[in-house]
Amino acid sequence: MKPTTFWEIERAKSRAAKVLFLIFFPFFTLSMLGLFYLLKFFWGIFRGGGFWEFLLASSFMSLILYFMAKAGAKRQRILNFLISLKAQKPDLQDLKHRQVQNVVREMAIAASVPEPEVYIIPVLARNAFSAFDIISITEGAVSSLERDELQAVVAHEMAHYLRGDSYYKGIISTFIMAISTLLGASLFLSGVNKNRDKNRKGGGWAWDFIIVVIYLYLINLMARLLNAAISRKMEDLADARAVQFTRNPLALASALYKVSRDRVRGLASFASPALSSLFIVPPNINSLDEGHGFFSNLFSTHPPTRKRIGNLLNLAHADWNTLRQKAVKKRLKGDFWVERDGKWIGPFTLEELLEKTWVGEGAKIKGKEGTFIFGPQFLQKFTRTQGNCPRCGGPLYETHYEFVPIIRCGRCGGILVREDRAMKLIARGESLITRQEMEFTRKKVEKTREKLISGGANPKTVDPSSPLKCPFCGRPMERKFFNFVTYTPVDFCPKCKYYFFDGGELETIIAGLKRIDSLYK
């Protein structure tokens, strides 16, 4: 009978994971026992040994590997991985990052465990992973997930932390590594043996080595299959625990739906197979992961995402239509339209209007009460900062762009943002971009490419104006392409680590990435 509550799922998956893990030790012991007999039969090694001696030696090797795995399963490896991804602790001046920290604290209380360390990975891809007492979430997930979805993702990772799944996986990985090492050694010896056998009549490969290599290949394959089976049970169990902590299966289903639809960006950093099993959804696209056939169930470290979502929808007594409606982020209906290149674009709310960097002083705005001109009076509620805009010399104000702290010019709309916060702006602004802005971007990119073809792939070809001076240190800023999607040149101060985006450049970059993402989907 199929489990219908998270309690039943938890009991079933926990029992299965423990059984599979306990199988691993006798499996390795028997594998070594078989290898000893092969060595004795073919080459006379361990000739004086019998069954009990071999069994004792195999068991001793298993114990040594187990304690080596426990000693080697250290969080420093995960920290090194995070450093390679330029992950950072949450920026508490960023309201979204502060929300992540609060959610982790809430889930730690719900799980009755010490609060784990939190890291944010600055990539657009949506994903999350945990190992030991570390939980890490990508900027794309932080920006796109609603609060209840974020709670569900953190609860899933908290379940791994609570059960110590990273230790299990570390121990199993050590056993697999040991078998792979034996396999590699055998392949090397088979090459040596081939040269030795050239002196024999007929030459060629030694059939005894071939048998040993095939045996180790099969053992290695079986170990990996067992590892994948254990990992799948752990993921199912973490899903059940997340529902137990949040009492909201629909939120986790919605989070998985969003994450699984967004595996086309930022995948190069997550290519390591050893670490991919730590993520809530496999970051590398693989058709086997989402299949339902025999081979998919054998080789995938995660259950099919669609199946996981289906189980959660059953617990929530909901269907796929309900899920899709929840997953779509609806923009609030605004009352303001802005004239751009002779066309009215909108509608925007007042908050969205103030965040549009292409809306500067003198922009014509139409609202319910008529048409008016945008001016610095709309920014007076923000804090005035020292220095002036490097582009137009206008006043600079401290404000936020989708909860990210920025410095904005009250005249031309240009913005200054710290280097470590630039990726946040790209991730956060995606939901604010309208179809009209995407169309403007498409036309602008086409014109930019024409310039680059005739004038060369240089930022000065697109923006030949004089270098800007940093408003903080007064030094000339470097001009470079922010990315090679829209070929938008931006200015950067290497000393102060600040980017300057002219009015509208930020939206151009975001719209270009959003357009590419929509083409993939």
DSSP-derived secondary structure for 116-143: PEEEEE--SS--EEEETTEEEEEHHHHH
Of 320, 256, 332, 268, which Cα lies nearest the Cα of 85? Answer: 268
Residue with tokens 């200054």: 416
* Mean pLDDT to the nearest integer, 225-250: 85
Sheet arrangement for strand 134-138: 117-121, 134-138, 128-131
Q: Is 518 exposed, middle or buried (0-12, 13-18, 19+ CB in 10 A)?
A: exposed
Alpha-carbon gap, residue 213 to 151, rounded angstroms: 48
- The residue with greater pLDDT, 271 or 440, is 440
What does DSSP assign to residue 359? -
pLDDT digits (tens, 9 = 90+) for 111-163: 888 888 999 998 888 899 888 888 999 998 998 899 999 999 999 998 888 87
Let me know: does 111 contact 245? Beta carbons within 8 Å: yes
Q: In b/e form, how buried is each residue of 263-290, taking b as 16+ CB within 10 angstroms?
A: bebbeebbeeeebbbbbbbbbeebeebb
pLDDT digits (tens, 9 = 90+) for 50-107: 777 777 777 777 777 666 666 655 667 778 888 888 899 999 889 899 999 999 999 9
| pLDDT on residue 4 | 47
| pLDDT on residue 483 | 83
| pLDDT on residue 44 | 57
What does DSSP assign to residue 465? S
Q: Cis omega before residue 489 (within 30°)? A: no
Q: Where are the alpha helices (DSSP H) in 247-280?
A: 249-260, 273-276
The answer, yes or no, to whether residue 353 has pLDDT greater than 70, is yes
* Mean pLDDT to the nearest integer, 207-218: 74
The answer, yes or no, to whether residue 202 has pLDDT greater than 60, is no
Which of these is catalytic: 10, 139, 157, 352?
Answer: 157
Beta bridge partners of 118: 135
What's the half-sphere exposure (Cβ side, CA atoms, 13 Å) at 463?
A: 17
The answer, yes or no, to whether residue 199 has pLDDT greater than 90, is no
Q: In b/e form, how buried is each residue of 392-411, taking b as 16+ CB within 10 angstroms?
A: bebbbbebbbbbbbbbbbbb
- Rg, the chain, Cα only: 29
The three-class DSSP label of residue 499 is: strand
Q: Which of 193-202, 237-246, 378-387 has the lowest mean pLDDT?
A: 193-202
Left if phi > 0, otherwise alpha if psi is -120 to 50, otherwise beta: which for 26? Answer: alpha
* Mean pLDDT to the nearest integer, 353-375: 86
- Provide the percentage of residues in the chain whose pLDDT is more than 70: 75
| pLDDT on residue 21 | 59
The three-class DSSP label of residue 485 is: coil
Q: Which of 45-49, 405-409, 433-437 has the lowest mean pLDDT?
A: 45-49
Question: For the chain, what is the mean pLDDT?
Answer: 79
Residue 352 is among the residues annotated as catalytic for this protein: no
Residue 386 backbone phi and psi in degrees, to 5? -75, 155
Q: Which of 53-62, 99-108, 235-244, 266-275 has the lowest mean pLDDT?
A: 266-275
- Cα–Cα separations (whole angstroms), residue 109 to 72, 239, 283: 29, 18, 29
Alpha-carbon gap, residue 148 to 255, rounded angstroms: 9
Alpha-carbon gap, residue 317 to 289, rounded angstroms: 25
Alpha-carbon gap, residue 466 to 459, rounded angstroms: 12
- Cα–Cα separations (whole angstroms), residue 288 to 210, 238, 306: 30, 21, 13
| pLDDT on residue 19 | 60
- Provide the percentage of residues in the chain whose pLDDT is more than 90: 21
